[in-house]
Structure 1
Amino acid sequence: MNIRATAAETAGTPAEEEVKQRVAALVARAREAQRAFEFAGQAALDTATAAAAWAIMEPTRNRQLAELAVRDTGLGNADDKFRKNFRKTLGLLRDLHGRPTCGVIARDPANGIVEIARAVGVVAAVTPSTNPVATPANKIINALKCGNAVIVSPSPKGYSSCALLIDFIHAQFEKAGLDPALVQILPAPISKAATAALMREADLVVATGSQANVRMAYTSGTPAFGVGAGNVASIVERSADLPDAARKIVLSKTFDNATSCSSENSVVIEDAVYDAMLGELQRCGSVLLDATQKAQLQATMWHDGKLSERCTAKSATRIAQTAGLDDVAEREPRVLMVEESGFGADHPFSGEKLAPVLAVYRARDFADATRIVRNIYAYMGAGHSVGLHTAHMDLAVALGEQLPVARVIVNQAHCLATGGNFDNGLPFSLSMGCGTWGRNNFSGNLGFRQYLNVTRVAYALAERVPELDELLGDYFRSVGR
């Protein structure tokens, strides 16, 4: 149901009305600040961008944010969050540096077109508990670069660290003479009612996190960008450099305890190198569970088909302890591996696990590996990305032509590469569109262009009408009229 309804239809309890009024007041303050900011010029927009970036990147603040995020959410580890906060923000600054985002941004004299960048207005930024600092920072920086105001709706668990981030941004704004109303946060306690009210009042919704939040964004009646579910699979083709592939897969799977939607959840290995690759993964600290241990882990990780918070974004050693696999825990594993052959709800290891737990599939050959990945994504993760480890670069294009994915990541640590890295050309982002495969309206990495409107001025040109044969000549000659 569309949540933008008539006043009579949306009238609720006094508490609900109070929430709506509080949100409306936040948005009103944001609109007032944004109207002045939008026309302040590129230098002002760039100053605000830099202020928000330095608020999170400065090492002492960054460490405080990373440790608070782990303490209050119980997800991930502080060292990796510290690195993520810095590198993702640094990369975003690189992508934005020197980019014009207000006034005339392009001229096409041949076609008589001038493009003018315009702000979208007030952005509602819905952010997850898995990245309660890096994701809101990314959205705030993009929004400010384009002359917008932004109001963040964090997850309840991530509220404290997100609120601290915004305090740090406000302190930088004070130094720069910027209006703090350009960046705000919903007041605690965070509720679905408040988030829904914010979505209705804003000019644009950018939602990252649970699919429930993404669906709510899409049905809010406000233009929205949302992301699809992650469940990345990586293929190890027989020509791959196996030690390199294993090292990168384990690095990706363990980074921040697999909080990223871009962490591998399955690895599909060609039969010709299956045993050798398992050996390399084990040399990198992975432990392969037997059938009994797998069943014990499954009973611990899922209850009534839902992932247990006891295992989400915890270390492999802690997960093994929680599952009662004491002999495995004693080995201090970096990753827990389980062999799998099925797909779907009856085979939960084929889905997203948000933990350093990896399902391993054996494929006859590359064609069979492609089939297996397609079956995995038919259950979960369609549209996101696929990893490929190979010496044959043309196979990546084949995957891009055959699989329902927006990105093919070749010979890289997947979770570090998918959202942009300094050794690939993808734009830095923490929100990856999954196209229509993942029920999204975009298939790229969410970047500053999604935070802009563009006005086009069209000048008259000398008329040129093409001859019909220019356009249909080939058709007429091959098929006839």
Structure 2
Amino acid sequence: MNVRDTHAAAGARESAAPGAQAEAEAAARIARQIAGARAAQQAFEFAGQETLDTAAAAAAWAIMEPSRNRRLAEQAVRDTGLGNADDKFRKNYRKTLGLLRDLHGQKTCGVIARDEATGIVEIARAVGVVAAITPSTNPAATPANKIVNALKCGNAVIVAPSPKGYDACALLIEFIHAQFAKAGLDPALVQMLSAPVSKAATAALMREADLVVATGSQANVRMAYASGTPAFGVGAGNVASIVTRTADLRDAAHKIAASKTFDNATSCSSENSVVIEEAVYDAMLRELAACGGVLLDAQQKAQLQAAMWSEGKLAARCTAKSAPEIARTAGLHDLAAREPAFLMVEETGFGASHPFSGEKLAPVLTVYRARDFDAAAAIVRSLYAYMGAGHSVGLHTGEPEAAVTLGSTLPVARVIVNQAHCFATGGNFDNGLPFSLSMGCGTWGRNNFSSNLGFRQYLNITRVAYPIEERVPELDALLGDYFRRFGQ
């Protein structure tokens, strides 16, 4: 090796050393947290249903109590710059209240089912220590949802918050620990990574935990699936809603507007596109305009696109900001002065060369014109071939049976009929979906589940099989129809 090579090798070792040291320190820190969580969880798991319910209630009330909720909502917006505090306040409360409704009376430890006919007894068992990966868009509501679910099922949980949402999550944990102190519960049951949250620390947490539940960027979800630990991760959002010629247009417009503008469209369930049947296209645009939507012309659309995307990526300066702020950022000052509730752009294409066809995380709605219902479904299929497969689709129509057609043919895990999509998809008090802030997207979205993430994902089930009277079926009862049609 010559002198130059020797110096290069030494430099490489020196530059690598700080990274390796940081990774080793992160791993040691995570190991200590895991050990504390595991010791607390092993005692907690067998404390009985009343104790599990108490812990879940304590964590829920920590975020729901109005003064704490307000502090969390304001902290979240102040730190992340995403959304608005009033909507986060409502989200923190309603999502947690709905979760409590879903959990009320549910048995999550001990024997939960007996089937005399099959001789099967089911026993609920905790999964252990849960690694909860949470996003900056909901730095209080999403951790709270995962913590309540985990505790209800006898688990401990360690949260890996987004760096932007760290302080809001830390405040939530502080509130939970205060409630735990009242109930005599071990604070080691609910922890979070220490600052600064690094990729190395998050990866170490994923490896050492018993279960990973990941919500947020697709990079985090992929890291969860690659961690070697059983994981539930969510797919990308890019929700579209179809408006048919039989829809109540005024009702549809109000619901789409409410969904599009809530918390400045931080939700993955906010409509990114609306596909309108040609017969009612102009009338629906008028109704959307009456709800505060402003349709941009071609030049304004080009300016908005330049502001919202740079180097092929969404610009943070427009993410989850209000429509007037986005318009000012794009240099559309006359439009901003009109104080629009949301912006609308017409589109005909799909894919990376048509960025408005993708997820925007902003009160910007892409509008497509469809010849008829079949054409509308085809447009949605093209949208989801680019982004958002598996998530959900909205439908505003006077023919609700059309929803079954969409559910049978589109790559979606949910079809939301005549509802404000971002409220309905994650469960609401006027539909039967479970309350959640993490929506599975099935194999279409590269996920291993297609339901709303709920308490059942935080449980193991042990099955005891007792002997029953033998029942061996006759071959003809099972294959007789096949034999009669095709022979043996």
**Is 1:340 matched with 2:344?**
no
Rounded Cα–Cα distance in structure 1 between residues aligned with 2:23 and 2:326: 40
Map residues 217-236 of structure 1 onto 2, 5 A cutoff.
217-236=224-243
Q: Which residue of 1 aligns with 2:461?
A: 454
Equivalent of 2:328 in 306, 321, 326:
321
SS at match of 1:400: helix
The residue that corresponds to 1:268 in the other structure is 275
Deviation by residue 1:379-413 (Cα, 9 ceiling, x = unmatched): 00000000000000110000000100000000000
Aligned-partner Cα distance in 2 for 1:392–1:135 = 35
Q: Given the alignment, which residue of 356, 359, 383 partners 1:352?
A: 359
Cα distance in 1 for residues equivalent to 2:117 and 2:31: 46
The aligned residue for residue 126 of structure 1 is 133
Letter in 1 for 2:162: S
Matches within 5 A, 1:191-210: 191-210=198-217
SS at match of 2:177: helix
Q: CA deviation at 1:12?
A: 6.8
- Provide the rounded CA distance (Å) in 2 between the counterparts of 1:470 and 1:159: 61
How much has 1:160 moved relative to structure 2?
A: 0.2
Aligned partners of 1:278, 1:162: CA distance in 2, in Å?
Answer: 40
Asked if residue 69 in structure 1 is aligned to residue 105 in structure 2, the reply is no
Deviation at residue 478 of structure 1 after TM alignment: 1.3
Give the Å deviation of 1:462. Answer: 0.9
Match of 1:138 in 2: 145
Matches within 5 A, 1:345-424: 345-424=352-431
Q: Deviations over 1:62-94 (max 9, x none)?
A: 000000000000000000000000000000000
Q: Name the residue aligned to 2:113.
A: 106
CA–CA separation in structure 1 for the residues paired with 2:383 and 2:25: 45
Could you say which residue in structure 1 is the equivalent of 2:57? 50
Aligned to 1:237: 244
Following the alignment from structure 1 to structure 2, what is the Cα–Cα distance between the partners of residues 348 and 430? Answer: 25
Counterpart Cα distance in 1 of 2:118 and 2:19? 53
CA distance in 2, matches of 1:12, 1:439: 31
Paired residue type of 2:53: D
Superposition pairs of residues 160-179 of structure 1, within 5 angstroms? 160-179=167-186
The CA distance in 2 between the partners of 1:333 and 1:150, in whole Å, is 42
> Is it true that 1:85 corresponds to 2:61 in the alignment?
no
Name the structure 2 match of 1:468. Answer: 475
Question: Does residue 257 of structure 1 match 2:264?
Answer: yes
Q: How many residues are treated as equivalent by the alignment?
A: 471
Counterpart amino acid of residue 367 in structure 1: D
Opposite residue 98 of structure 1, the aligned amino acid is G
1:477 and 2:484 are equivalent in the alignment = yes
Are residue 303 (structure 1) and residue 310 (structure 2) matched?
yes
User: How far apart, in 2, do the equivalents of 1:15 and 1:96 lie?
Assistant: 40
For 1:387, give the aligned amino acid: G
Q: Secondary structure at the match of 1:313?
A: coil
Alpha-carbon deviation of 1:480? 1.3
The answer as to 2:45 corresponding to 1:18 is no
Which of 265, 283, 286 is the matching residue for 1:279? 286
Paired residue secondary structure (1:336): strand
Unaligned 5+ runs, structure 2: 1-17
RMSD: 0.7
Q: Secondary structure at the residue paired with 1:83?
A: helix
Match of 1:291 among 283, 298, 306: 298
Question: Structure 2 CA distance, aligned partners of 1:237 and 1:16?
Answer: 54
What does 1:149-168 align with in structure 2 at a 5 Å threshold? 149-168=156-175
1:442 maps to amino acid: F
Note the residue ranges of structure 1 that are not aligned, 5 or more in a row: 1-10
Q: CA deviation at 1:479?
A: 1.4
Query: Which string of whole-angstrom CA distances, capped at 9 and with x for unpartnered residues, describes residues 177-209 of structure 1?
Result: 000000000000000000000000000000000
Shift of 1:451: 0.2
Shift of 1:15: 1.9
CA distance in 1, matches of 2:292, 2:346: 16
TM-score computed with the length of structure 2 as normaliser: 0.96
1:117 to partner: Cα distance: 0.3
Offset, 1:283: 0.4
| Secondary structure class of the residue paired with 1:167 | helix
Partner Cα distance (1:361, 1:151) in 2 = 43
Percent of matched pairs sharing the same residue: 81
Q: 2: CA distance between counterparts of 1:174 and 1:479?
A: 70
Give the whole-Å Cα distance in 2 for the aligned partners of 1:256 and 1:136: 17
SS of 1:264 mapped into structure 2: coil
Q: Distance in 1 between matches of 2:296 and 2:401?
A: 34
